[in-house]
Amino acid sequence: MDAEQSYQVRLEIFEGPLDLLLFLIKKKKIDIQDIPIALITREYLDYLSRKDRINLDREAEFLLMAALLIYIKSQMLLPREQLLVPEEEPRKELTDRLMDYQTIKAVVQVLREKEDEQMQVWKRSALTSPLPDEDLDLIEVSLFDLAESFFTMMKRRQGQDIKVIKGKEVTMAEKMNEIVNVLKERHYLDFLEYLGQQETLEEALIAFFCLLELIKARLVIAIQEQLFHTIKVWLRKEAHGKATHG
Amino acid sequence: MAEKLKEIIESMIFISVEPLTPEKMKEVLQDVPEQDVAQAVQDLVGAYAASEGAIRIIQTAGGYVFSTKPEFDPYVRRLLQIERKSKLSHQALETLSAIAYHQPVTLPEISAIRVCDSTYALHSLLEKKLIKIVGRKEAPGRPLLYRTTDKFLVYFGLNSLEDLPKEEELKKLMEEENA
Amino acid sequence: MAEKLKEIIESMIFISVEPLTPEKMKEVLQDVPEQDVAQAVQDLVGAYAASEGAIRIIQTAGGYVFSTKPEFDPYVRRLLQIERKSKLSHQALETLSAIAYHQPVTLPEISAIRVCDSTYALHSLLEKKLIKIVGRKEAPGRPLLYRTTDKFLVYFGLNSLEDLPKEEELKKLMEEENA
């Protein structure tokens, strides 16, 4: 690999499989209307095998495209009695998609330029007006605002309701048994979701302490995959038998 | 910079929500001598005062701010009144959403959902014909029942109430935000 | 009123929070012939464009609004203590472009165009009010339909969706890109 190529590669952060395909097509100077599928598939797979060069968050999408390319290739290898009309050509859909995506990329470029221009221009958003402006706070109301407004309101309400402690008495032992049973049935538990399902704040607190106890006793394992994300709880394998008597 | 000093100050006064004080100007125009700034401000205020235009710069609360000349007050008021009428406030929107998802519903129920007295918002929605009275509830005091109107559907571009986003759809979108 | 028409419109544009549309002007200036209003607006915009001052009137989202000239951006930012206005992410911009050219459009359609899940980008655009829900598609699952908003136009300094580059212009761009 020459120096220029590796330099180029480092610069590229592909936004998606189409972005990568367009890059390869350009690099190989291929006519988008007449894509040599075998060649492009090989190039594409080659790239995927060097995974550090694509955005790993969307690996599935890149793999899906690989599958599509292989599918098209296999379709084209099938023996046919007569030539296909252009619309039935398996490459047609790929070409259409690429063309469509190319347009979008051009639009992105135009909008980015316009955004740059507008960044330097300042308008006034707040003005001193002779009328009370309490009714002026919403510029655009969409259906989304309406629905969001409702569900946010409900969330707020739920937050208040949980403070009401109802009379139901739950012991630590009962709760612990319940948790273990749920884990046996469902294999894992979403920590926040489970706490959210508790009827009262008191019960949620008890459940919380029970989980802490179970973790301490090494009966369950709790994993947080990412900071601020929910915590998942699994039953440890060796604990299956023991926990039955919990 | 010096030859554009007047315009630089103009752009700053234009963008300030509060009257722009000489101290603030100084913060931005650090290297410019104080008397130059003062002179430019005076020129600027004078130029606007002498112009035929509708706006001028006034000195208030120790700073400078753009304002319309008093003679245009009637038009400004008329415009603001119109703008005000054509928009939904946050209060109104929240009330409307409570009605949309719970209809038919009574005022006490709406106020309970919002944990907030909704009489005023309800009236403004009735006035805008986004909701209507459809009867009375068979309950103590027989309170009036409200529903959204066809105008409500048109306003939000809905075909029917079935088209309102479902809780799951919204939840998914809102969760993305917290992710 | 006629001799002050230009100034009346100036005061209204000045005071309006959103771009002032000809329809709004008409509501206030009921008795004034439409072409007189249009002429006055043109004179006014021209006068500001020709002036040496820091502000001008721009046409966006079908209306008129005051803004600073780009050359004063550094001073405005220093005053407001803003490093840079934050730009849209590439993800968001690509999603927005797909919506702008295919609207009204559903989330699955957008994701198909981009070959990439667009839920997160969609939500951030909704939150920024650059797009809005406009109804449901008559298709299995009745997915929600999205459109760009007036705020989208203002954000990019467009007067209407017609201002978006046409197919031929884009083609030219693409050819340059591939050359």
- Extract the tokens encoding B175: 């969760």
Contact B144, B107 (CB under 8 A): yes
Contact B170, A151 (CB under 8 A): yes
Inter-chain contact B158–A143, Cβ cutoff 8 Å? yes
CA distance A124 to A213: 57
- Extract the tokens encoding A221: 């394992």
Among the partner residues C52, C75, C136, nearest to B28 by beta-carbon distance = C75
CATH fold of the domain at C2-80: Arc Repressor Mutant, subunit A (1.10.10)
| Mean pLDDT in residue range A136-149 | 47
Give the residue on C whose Cα is nearest the Cα of B53.
C7
Compute the nearest-CA separation of B129 from chain C (Å): 20
| pLDDT tens digits for range C85-120 | 788 999 899 999 999 999 999 998 998 888 888 888
- Identify the pLDDT of residue A230: 46
pLDDT for residue C148 is more than 90: yes
Which value, in Å, is the radius of gyration of the alpha carbons in chain B?
26
The reported pTM is 0.65
Same fold, C2-80 and C90-178: yes
Q: Roughly what angle, to the nearest 10 degrees, separates helices A90-119 and C107-114?
A: 100
Q: Roughly what angle, to the nearest 10 degrees, separates helices C34-50 and C5-15?
A: 70
Helix, strand, coil percentages, rounded to 5, for chain A: 65, 5, 30
Give the residue on A whose Cα is nearest the Cα of B114.
A153
The reply to whether B115 touches chain A by the CB within 8 Å rule is: yes
Among the partner residues C4, C79, C144, nearest to B12 by beta-carbon distance = C79
Domain ranges of chain C: 2-80, 90-178
CA distance C47 to A227: 56
DSSP C66: E
Phi, psi of A185 (to 5 degrees): -75, -45
Size of interface A-C (CB pairs under 8 A): 132
- Identify the pLDDT of residue B5: 93
Strands B144-148 and B63-68: unpaired
| Mean pLDDT in residue range A223-232 | 47
Inter-chain contact A145–B83, Cβ cutoff 8 Å? no
Chains that touch C (3 or more CB pairs under 8 A): A, B
- Identify the pLDDT of residue A11: 39
Res. A77 pLDDT band, cuts 50 70 90: confident
- Identify the pLDDT of residue B85: 61
Top-tier CATH class for B90-178: mainly alpha
Say which amino acid occupies C109. Answer: E
